[in-house]
Amino acid sequence: MMTAADYFGGATTVYESAPGRVNLLGEHTDYNDGFMLPIATPQRTGVTIGASLDGQFHFYSETLDQSIDWSGGTLPATGFSRYMIGCVQLLMQRAIHVPPLRMHVSSNLAVGAGLSSSAALELATLRALRTLLALPLSDTTLAQIAQQAEIEFAGVNCGIMDQMAASLADESHMLFLDARTLETHLVPMPDDCELIVIDSGVPRTLAATGYNTRRAECETAARMLGVKALRDVVDPAAVEKLEDPFRKRARHVVMENQRVLTACQGVDARQFGTLMNASHISLRDDYEVSIDALDDLTALLRQQEDIFGARLTGAGFGGACVALCRRGRAQEIGARVVAHYNQAGHAGRLLIPAADTPLRTTTRSADHGGH
């Protein structure tokens, strides 16, 4: 396992990082042109890049202690480098010259926990390339390129939320995002609150789950209703004429969009928690992306005093849960819930509040004072 200092041996490098995201409301709405409210995680993924002298690209993950070499031909079958290579190739398709590089990845962001480690990797890669090559690309453009990389090179037909959150969100505000217009603005968290995020210990890989199936079902439901996307359904009763599973999928999306818009009106912590609880029930019963472990974990969270609401976060089929908690109580409650949850044989862990050392967020250039 090599640090970036070991990997580059003092050569000139550029460093950039990007956070994961916790989605508080608006799950599975992004690819339906809908609304969502993610927030950035304190955990981040960092990418350090420097020149390659042998004409090849070299990728190294400190977390995995894995090296991948790529000379511009066939992509690796699987693995972290596909996301990075996708970003490089999409820049090349924009007639941007990307010279052969060495890239080092470091991260304290949990993989497979539903916090969008892939988007963090894509954005950290693109930010580092933007800095190194002085590219005139906006944060929104980077998010769009990252989304395209995930779709084309990782095979996940994802929406734009994860990449927009990794590019534009911060740790103290919710990011309202309109997936159709890409309008964003920061929304204050409810007063006197903080978040608990717990990994259920059940990993999930989006490309190997029902994610793409759910997206196809939503597209079919929209066609049945005669709209461009389910975001355009104004009357929730309209979806009730559909047959299942299309009725249930559409009902979740329409009601989830309404929950986001309600939350943006400035509700208090209890009202926000009620919206979170309703979101989880909808994800469980109508969208059918929850599993027993996530249901058990959210139920445990809701039983705690000073918890306002809890839901799965991310695409489901495993991953993490998020709870809204009274400020100052998250560490104690989170640790207690994890201990109780794990007594049933699970392998849960508390992700937020974070106990590990934060990753650097600043850009670094070893030889010429930073960018």
Query: Would you name the residues annotated as active-site residues?
Result: 162
Alpha helices in the chain (DSSP H): 4-8, 81-93, 117-133, 139-154, 161-168, 211-225, 246-263, 269-285, 292-302, 330-342
CA distance 331 to 353: 6
| 207: amino acid identity, one letter | A
How do beta strands 57-61 and 101-107 pair? parallel
- Which two tokens mark 199? 């990994």
The CB density around residue 126, as the number of other CB atoms within 10 Å, is: 30
Find out whether 321 and 301 touch, Cβ atoms under 8 Å. Answer: yes
- Which two tokens mark 110? 């949990």
The CB density around residue 210, as the number of other CB atoms within 10 Å, is: 16
Instruction: Name the β-bridge partners of 194.
Output: 325
The CB density around residue 50, as the number of other CB atoms within 10 Å, is: 23
In this structure, what DSSP letter does residue 55 have?
A: S
Residue among 292, 277, 293, 112 at smallest CA distance from 200: 293
Rg from Cα positions in the chain: 21
